[in-house]
A and B are shown apart, each in its own frame.
Chain A
């Protein structure tokens, strides 16, 4: 292998040089730069000298712990209950703010809580917004990757037919991909508005039963709305990749299958799907990486709100690095995101390897 790459292959390296050079300059170097900056207190604008702070940024971002709050008791030792019979608890801020008895929780905030018996277990973190953005991003990937991949395959199968006018459909499905994501996001913001198209359609279809809802303004529906819109927007791109995969499968295989009397499903299951193996790996990895990079839709449609229900890791990196002038904090988030995406890609590669 090594000899093949190094000996008498000057032309090959020459051809690769522009690509490798650009990759190194704009991806590899900035990554090492980000890693270095994440160990400092670098600001976007500051006359103060940059100082090396070790792993402080990582600690501020990732510190998380569980706080057990016993129920409040009256003088007789009885648990004080509210009108619904639920025990009452001291507020989290009494533990996390200016309380010398609990220095380990100083400056932390509640993320979520559950109850174990009468004791409240509260998950507190220094940077709750980051944890929420991580959860949102993972939820986004978990839904978008399989649904978008499957829909794209379905569309590819539909348009992989020799029909009159099939190119019109190919164009229509691909159109959202070539429109700028910012424009698409703005349009969908109008669609999702209180008196927008979606509410009107649902209202008409349900004969007036459906009351309009504020899709992007409600923390329960905002992320779902963005997932749906994102799936629609990029599905055409992956459809084309699937289509190219479909067209590499030799027609003779299908002829053999039909001679053998295979049903449509069997032909798909035993001819098409094995033939798409490499394409599937590619589509899966590309969608996963793109989904982790979710940013423009958030920036245009919700700004991470309401109540952090749509904030994402990349949005936080930009918001901190540029909006709040904290380059080191933004770099730290980028490095963590890189490590997450890298490990997930490696796992995907391992699971889909040639056995």
Chain B
């Protein structure tokens, strides 16, 4: 008899326990920052705060190394095993949204108030993903270099013109103090090429695809502006201003700090390392203006709901929670990213007024242009990368850009126009 009551009590106890656990619906989440301890700690604290702050949802995180993250998502989607909350790189989002891997995020407009526009991922007029941070690219230089070469310091309002920029490279080369005048970062293959270099093309007046229809690259990527861009791009290498595609990745990381390069085209994430490396007088200059304004790339990692998730409202609740300024500031302090609101920027070490990396916030606000918002971007980016590498290696500019246009157009056609 006694045994029986204990059993019943135990049973009641376990079911009761299970009952409280299931009151919170579980939401799985995948994250691209596997292997980065600082990043994981910040994310985990956001998740545990969220789980403790309400009784409806219980988020659990799985992290993947960035290099294989996109492949993992595609494989999981093909196998029907997507998590609920997806972490997605800004320019890839339209591709996944179009393919049905993601669904619109039912997030309130109030939560997005004051966010940098480029941190909000929109496709077909709906919000699919929101980012906690933004990234920006600038021309790294030493103030002492500018002074020694007698160069005007460009500003956001008055950036260097293309001619001024080339004159600066020529002066740096003529000084004989540098192995190369400019380090564009050719060692960083992959998304870096379209992210970092397509803004130059846009500043010339071209683009990867024609953004008015997204149905063709003809004229955008092989028109007169694009040909001028291609000739300029090739001249960087034929004139010996920049190291080519076989650049040692180690030189990419430390070449500017070591004084091998006078100028380096690099992202805000390298800013802290550059300061720590002893370059006290580093200045972050805006992109040169080749005729159509100074442009830099935009759109970083963002959170959204997967297509198969039955609880998009839960995902939205989590994202709204994560968008609090204190978390944006924590990510920024932890891994050097640009917070997506002005308020959060004021709370950070580096992006507050007078902070070492503050120029990047201004660059993001003033010059950022997202990469083409199209499901076809994923393929176009690959084609663009190869075209730029080939031109840098001496391929004929017009033929190479023509071939890139043909390949992009054929891909758009095979995909029925990508749903635009």
A217 contacts B414, C-beta separation under 8 Å: no
User: Closest Cβ of chain B: how far from A352's Cβ, in Å?
Assistant: 41
Select one of A41, A44, A217, A324 contacting B74, CB under 8 A. Answer: A44
Q: CA of A28 to CA of B383 in the docked complex: distance in angstroms?
A: 33
Which of B59-67, B164-172, B242-250, B357-365 contacts its partner?
A: B242-250
- Beyond A41-B414, A322-B71, whether A97 also contacts B402 by CB under 8 A is yes
**Would A306 and B393 count as touching, CB distance under 8 A?**
yes
CA A92 to CA B406, docked complex, whole Å:
15
CB <8 Å contact, A217 and B244: yes
B173 CB, min distance to chain A CBs, angstroms:
18
Q: What residues of chain A lie closer than 8 Å to B100, measured between beta carbons?
A: 47
Given contacts A41-B414, A45-B74, A47-B99, contact A107 B398 (CB under 8 A): no
Quick one: closest A residue to B391, CB to CB?
A307
Contact of A109 among B71, B378, B399, B419 (CB under 8 A): B399
Q: Which residue of B lies closest to A308 (CB)?
A: B390
Is the C-beta of A48 less than 8 angstroms from some C-beta in chain B? yes
Binary flags per residue of A216-229, CB closer than 8 Å to B gives 1, else 0 = 11010000000000
Number of contacting residues on B, CB 8 A?
35
Instruction: Name the distance in Å between B310's Cβ and chain A's nearest Cβ.
Output: 20
| Interchain nearest-CB distance for B276 vs A (Å) | 25
CB distance from A140 to the nearest CB of B (A): 20
Q: Does B127 contact A (CB under 8 A)?
A: no
Residue B39 is within 8 A (CB to CB) of chain A in the complex: no
* A110 CB-CB contact with B under 8 Å: yes
Q: Are B390 and A307 in contact (CB under 8 A)?
A: yes
User: Given the known A-B contacts A303-B189, A305-B245, are A46 and B71 also in contact in the complex, defined by CB atoms under 8 Å?
Assistant: no
Q: Is the CB of A214 within 8 A of B379?
A: no
Say how far A58's CB is from chain B's closest CB, in angstroms: 15
- Alpha-carbon distance between A331 and B77 when the two chains are bound, in angstroms: 20
Closest to B417 in A: A48
The residue that A305 contacts in the complex, of B101, B390, B414, with Cβ under 8 A, is B390
A45 with B95: CB separation less than 8 A: yes
Q: Do A47 and B98 touch across chains, with their CB atoms under 8 A apart?
A: yes
Bitwise, A274-307 to B at CB < 8 A (1) or not (0) is 0000000000000000000000000000010111
Closest CB-CB distance, B92 to chain A, in whole Å? 10
Q: How far, in whole Å, are A219 and B91 apart by their CA atoms in the complex?
A: 32
A214 to B186: give the CA distance in the assembly, Å: 15
Measured between beta carbons, the chain A residues less than 8 angstroms from B248 are 193-195
Given contacts A45-B95, A109-B399, contact A307 B246 (CB under 8 A): no
B406 contact set on A, CB distance < 8 A:
107, 109
B residues less than 8 Å from A219 (CB atoms)? 393
Q: Which of A43, A92, A194, A322 contacts B415 (CB 8 A)?
A: A43
Query: Which A189-227 residues have C-beta < 8 A from chain B?
Result: 193-195, 214, 216-217, 219
Bound complex: CA A110 to CA B399 (Å): 9
Contacts of A324 in B (CB 8 A): 379, 382-383, 411
Is the pair A305, B399 in contact by a Cβ cutoff of 8 Å? no
Let me know if B379 and A325 touch, CB within 8 A.
yes
Q: Which of A41, A60, A324 has the most CB of B within 10 A?
A: A324
Chain A residues with CB under 8 A of B189 = 303
How far is it, in angstroms, between the C-alpha of A90 and the C-alpha of B258 when the chains are bound? Answer: 48
Q: List the B residue with the shortest CB-CB distance to A92.
A: B399
| Contact across chains for B402 and A325 when beta carbons are under 8 A apart | no
Q: How far is B95's CA from A97's CA once the two chains are assembled, in angstroms?
A: 29
Which residues in window 34-75 of A have CB below 8 A to B? 41, 43-48, 60
A92–B389 CA distance with the chains assembled, in angstroms: 22
Shortest Cβ gap from B236 to chain A (Å): 15
- Residue B13 interfacial (CB < 8 Å): no
* CB of B395 within 8 Å of the partner chain: yes
Residue B403 interfacial (CB < 8 Å): yes
B82-118 interface mask toward A, CB cutoff 8 Å, 1 = contact, 0 = none?
Answer: 0000000000000110111100000000000000000
Size bracket of the A interface: 20 to 34
The answer to the question of B394 belonging to the interface, with a C-beta cut-off of 8 Å to chain A, is: yes
- Contact between chains at B393 and A307 (CB < 8 Å): yes
* A323 at interface by CB-CB < 8 Å: yes
- B379 and A217 contacting across the interface, CB-CB below 8 Å: no
In the complex, A113 has a CB within 8 A of chain B: no
CB distance from B395 to the nearest CB of A (A): 6
Q: Mark A101-129, 1 if CB is under 8 A from B, else 0.
A: 00000010110000000000000000010
Does B416 reach chain A (CB closer than 8 Å)?
yes
Question: B residues within 8 A CB of A303?
Answer: 189, 389
Residues of B398-420 contacting chain A, CB below 8 A: 398-399, 402-403, 406, 410-411, 414-416, 419
- Chain B nearest CB, measured from A260 CB (Å): 57
Complex: A305 Cα to B402 Cα, angstroms? 19
Name the B residues within 8 Å of A193 (CB-CB).
246, 248
Q: Which residue of A lies closest to B96 (CB)?
A: A45
Enumerate chain B residues within 8 angstroms of A45, measured Cβ to Cβ.
74, 77, 95-96, 99, 101
* CB within 8 Å of A: which B201-246 residues: 244-246
Residues in chain A near residue B98, CB distance under 8 A: 47
**CB distance B246 to A214 under 8 Å?**
yes
A353 interface residue per 8 A CB criterion: no
Residue A93 at the chain B interface, CB threshold 8 Å: yes
Q: Give min CB distance, B49 to chain A, whole Å.
A: 34
* Minimum distance in angstroms from B229 CB to a CB of chain A: 18
Check A91 for interface membership: any CB of B closer than 8 A: yes
Q: Contacts of B99 on A, CB cut-off 8 Å?
A: 45-47
CA distance A219 to B399 in the complex (A): 18
Output the least CB separation between A92 and chain B (Å). 7
Q: A305 touching B379 by the CB < 8 A rule? A: no
Residues of chain B lying within 8 A (CB to CB) of residue A319: 382
CA distance A44 to B92 in the complex (A): 14
Q: Which residue from B245, B389, B403, B415 sits with its C-beta under 8 Å from A46?
A: B415
Name which of A41, A306, A308 has the most chain B CB atoms within 10 A of its CB: A306
Nearest-neighbour CB distance to chain A for B261, whole angstroms, equals 15
Known: A91-B398, A217-B244, A322-B71. 18 other contacts (CB 8 A): A45-B95, A45-B96, A45-B99, A46-B415, A47-B100, A47-B419, A48-B415, A60-B410, A92-B399, A93-B398, A128-B403, A194-B246, A194-B248, A303-B389, A305-B393, A306-B244, A307-B395, A319-B382
A-B contact pairs, 11 of them (CB 8 A): A91-B398, A92-B399, A109-B399, A193-B246, A194-B248, A303-B389, A306-B244, A306-B245, A307-B390, A322-B71, A324-B411
Closest 3 CB pairs of A and B: A217-B246, A306-B393, A45-B99
